[in-house]
Amino acid sequence: MSVIGKSVARPDALDKVTGGKAYPVNFQLPGMLHGKLLRSPYPHAKILSIDTSAAEQLPGVKAVLTHHDVPQRKFTSVYFVPTDTKSLPQDLLIMSDHVRFAGQPVAAVAATSAEIAEQALELIEVDYEDLPAVFDPEEAMQAGAPQLHDGAENNIAVAPVMEFGDIEAGFAGADHIFEGTYTTQRAHTCYLEPRVCVAEYNGNDGYTINSSMQHLFGLREKLAFALEIPESNVRVIKPPYIGGGFGGKLDMSYIEPVAALLSRKSGRPVRMEHTRYEDFITTTRNPIKVYLKTGVKKDGTFTARYASSILDAGAHATHGAEVINVHGFAWLSSYHCENMKWEGKSVYTNNMIGGGYRGYGAPQACFAFESQNDEICETLGLDPIEFRKKNARQLGSAHPLVPGLTIDSYAMEEVLDRGAEAIGLAQRHPPGANGDGTTKRGIGMALFPFWVSGCVGFPDIYEHSGAIVKLNVDGTADVATASVDIGSGQITTLLQIAAEELGLPMAAMRMVDTSDTTTVPFDAPTHASRITYGSGLAIKAAAGEAKKRLLDVAGTMLEASPEDLEVVDGIVRVKGSPDTALTVADVASRAESPFIQFTDQGPAPTTLAEKGTIIGLSSMAPPSNPSPIAAGFVEVEVDTETGEVKVDRVVYSHDLGRVINPKGAEGQVEGGFQQGIGYALMEEIQFDPDSGTCLTGCFLDYKIPTAVEMPTQIESIFVESNEPTGPFGAKSMSEACVVVPAPAIANAIYNATGARLKDLPITPERVLAALGEL
């Protein structure tokens, strides 16, 4: 292959190293106003009255909104489900008189400057009735707890259960039973570009929206639904790229509908931008408490696996009602066992609303099961690699989640073996035996054995993609898609796939950066490890259609059958006789030329069959949902006097089907480790237990790893299993690398010290406590 597998430079990098002009945060319109939200200081309250008259009088203020001014149709903000979904609770309002978390917007102002809008907020008087609040999901389920939503008895938003085989018989047949409870925290994606939007009311119930988000069509749907207008009345502009998402921009936030309504009220475009504090209280990975009970034979074979998971959804269900399911899937699909049962609960509390975050329930699951698997191996003296191989799923077996599909590529053994070899797992010391004085060293590993490449087979989740590929007369190609590049290189990957299919060099490829919901086919969001696979297949199909047309025209020109032609590096040639050739530019020019061309020899007619832009279009769902695999191996150093953990070395082993762009793949894995080590060791959104106010609303208090905390050695191993349904054999990888660091690090800490840490984040303080030093 000429383009696939090459570390071509990102087309968007040039703009980004020279200042990055195309981010939504830079978008402006003439006459634009600036909107700000007034947020409730109370976690649970009823609004008795709001007086906005003083704010309206302030010079420069052009519009003020309260719950009296907004439609009262309840919706879910999650992009990837249909608006009329039955699977997720529709429990959200743009503004409501019922406040359920500290920070919920209760009023909004648009003014000629952000400063005036902020001043106006201070002039709004809200009379609240403070209501009792509940912050712990287990307390929220108790009798007598404040009830947050009608119809959600005991504050349970959803309570899915899955069961296979006979769980009791499985435990009865076990030689050993292991139990453990694992807790995970609230963590923020920390995209660096804030959520920002510019909304413009166009008259006739129509709006145009520019936003930093991960799903063009999702925003269109959700906004139209919440505003109670037809979907096509909302036109969403595709940003050429956004400044990070990681799942954190996978739902409509308050600012888009509020900006739209402020624009309508003021008659001017309205821009709204989150402060970092607002971003921190807008979306989070849901905390989940996982109880595991696992039965094993002496040789390590699973006989029964039971799990129960309690998820803190926060004030509204949104993603929390889906994360719980995917979390259950991640646990269930990870290893084979005849007898399995899982019970999940997604529970309303007066905490901030949850959201999407890379891994989507899997990090919480994998931390629990891979920590316990390590404990099983240590207790029973089993080899951690052989134990995992023994219980893993197998190539060719039935897909554990989607009926009718099989596992068509699955290089789990190679992933494990190569990673273990690279880190030296077999040579590691017994727990606590490496190091002296106050420094202990350890090696740990974790496997994330089964995941998704998109959402085919999952109920109620969009998964189709589309693209337009168009050739230009100079031999270049323009590709248009609704798929948003959120930073991880979607533009590059998709263009490489199109280039390979067309037979064009990468330099001839260009991603159209002026698309919107009126000009390109629907695409599911940039989420769920789906772009390379799902969007990639659609891009490949569109390119294939354009290529077919290219060969038809070239066949006429060369007086050859299209089947006998091939395109290599921009040249169309007859297979076996490379001198009989045309450039793609020649062919595209002929297709676009007037019917009769005036040449040096005089007028020369062409044929009708040759005429017309060479273009390909696709809109399709992918045929499967192949699983990537990630195994993480880490070496840590633990200061047993301070409890500080330093990760020195990482080996990351992945089955991703086929590497499209090696540097891009490495970069994604390395970045995934940064998020994973942060989740493992330091990151946590915390709230004041009395007021519900966020204590970690800035980067001084919410700590993420800098270059100094990151290991200097991250080795990436990519196993190419060649997924038969994937574009050029590719499947996905973007989430699996975020999932394994926490359990790998926890297991390495165990190997270093003999202490088992079951609560994230593993702060120095928790390490010391586990060592009995505190």
Partner 1 sequence: MALPNIQDYYVPGTRQEAVELLGKFGENAMLVAGGTFVHGLEVRGVLGEIEALIDIGQLGLAGIRSEDGKLVVGATTNFGEIQAHADIASAPHYAAIIDALTYPPAQIINVGTIGGCIAASAPLYDLPCALSALDASLRINGGNGAREVALGEFFTGLFENVLASNELITEVVLPAAPANTASAFLKLETNANDLAIVNLAVRLTVDSAGNCADTRVYVGGGIGESYARAVSAEAVLNGAPAEAASFDAASEAVVNDIEPVDDHRASAAYRAHIVKVYTRRCLATALERLG
Partner 2 sequence: MKKLIELTVNGEHHEVAVTPEASLLNVLRGDLGLVGPKKGCDAGSCGCCSVHVDGKVVYSCMTYAVGAQGKEITTVEGIGHADDLHPLQQAFIDAGAVQCGYCTSGILMAAKQLLDTTPKPDEETIRHAIAGNLCRCTGYAKIVDAIKLAADRL
Point out which residues bind partner 2 (CB under 8 A): 7, 9-10, 12-21, 23, 25-26, 115, 189-194, 241-244, 246, 275-276, 486-489, 663-664, 666-675, 698-700, 704, 706-708, 710, 712, 714
Instruction: Give the C-alpha separation, 290 to 292, whole Å.
Output: 6
Q: Specify whether the backbone of 62 is left (phi greater than 0), alpha (psi in -120 to 50) or beta.
A: alpha
User: Taking CB within 5 to 8 Å according to partner kind, which of partner 2, partner 1, none is near residue 320?
Assistant: none
Least separation in angstroms between CB 276 and partner 2 = 4
Taking the least distance from each CB to partner 2, the nearer of 114 and 380 is 114
Q: If binding is defined by CB under 8 A, does position 709 make contact with partner 1? A: yes
Asked whether 459 and 80 are in contact (CB, 8 A), the reply is no
Please choose which of partner 1, partner 2, none residue 192 contacts, taking the beta carbon within 5 to 8 angstroms, the exact cut-off set by kind.
partner 2
Residue of 282, 453, 476, 696 interacting with partner 1 (CB under 8 A): 696
Task: Spell out the residues 6+ positions from residue 263 whose beta carbon is closer than 8 angstroms to its own.
Answer: 33, 110, 199, 200, 201, 207, 269, 270
Among residues 389, 703, 720, 754, the one that binds partner 1 under rule CB under 8 A: 703
Residue 774 binds: one of partner 1, partner 2, none (C-beta under 5 to 8 A by kind): partner 1
Instruction: Examine residue 379 and tell whether it contacts partner 1 (CB under 8 A).
Output: no
Dist. CA 114–CA 112, nearest whole Å: 7
Q: Which does 339 bind (CB under 5 to 8 A by kind): partner 2, partner 1, none?
A: none
Closer to partner 1 by CB, 596 or 774: give it.
Answer: 774
C-beta closer to partner 1: residue 84 or 641? 641
d(CA 751, CA 444): 7
The smaller minimum CB distance to partner 2, of residues 625 and 675, is found at 675
Angle between helices 412-423 and 384-391 (to 10 degrees): 170
Residue 17 binds which of partner 1, partner 2, none (CB < 5-8 A, kind-dependent): partner 2
By CB under 8 A, the residues from 80 to 99 that bind partner 1 are none
Binding part of the chain for partner 1, among 6-14, 487-495, 553-561, 638-646 by CB under 8 A, reads: 638-646
Do 118 and 35 meet the contact criterion of CB atoms below 8 Å apart? Answer: no
Tokens describing residue 452: 């998704």
Q: How many residues bind partner 1 (CB under 8 A)?
A: 26
Closest approach, Cβ 116 to partner 1, in A, equals: 8
- Quote the least distance from Cβ 693 to partner 2, whole Å: 17
Binding mask of the shown chain, residues 95 to 134, with x at each position contacting partner 1 by CB under 8 A: --------------------x--xx---------------
Does residue 701 bind partner 1 (CB under 8 A)? yes
Dist CA 503 CA 486 (whole Å) = 27
- 651 beta partners: 633, 715
Selection from 764, 682, 749, 669 nearest residue 375 by Cα: 749
Least separation in angstroms between CB 244 and partner 2: 4
CA nearest 766: which of 745, 738, 739? 745
- Contact of 220 with 517, CB cutoff 8 Å: yes
| Tokens standing for residue 148 | 């947050």
DSSP state of 66: E
Q: Which of 299, 294, 214, 208 is nearest to 252 (CA)?
A: 214
Query: Using N-to-C axis directions, what is the helix angle for 536-558 and 584-592, rounded to 10°?
Result: 80
Residues 661-690, interacting with partner 1 (CB under 8 A): 682, 686
Which of the stretches 282-290, 589-597, 620-628, 637-645 binds partner 1 when contact is defined by CB under 8 A? 637-645
193 binds, among partner 2, partner 1, none (CB under 5 to 8 A by kind): partner 2
> From the CB of 590, what's the least distance to partner 1, in Å?
58
Other CB atoms within 10 A of residue 209 CB:
25
- Looking only at the bridges linking them, the beta strands covering 629-639 and 465-471 are unpaired
For partner 1, the binding residues (CB under 8 A) are: 115, 118-119, 641-643, 682, 686, 695-696, 699-701, 703-709, 763-765, 768, 773-774
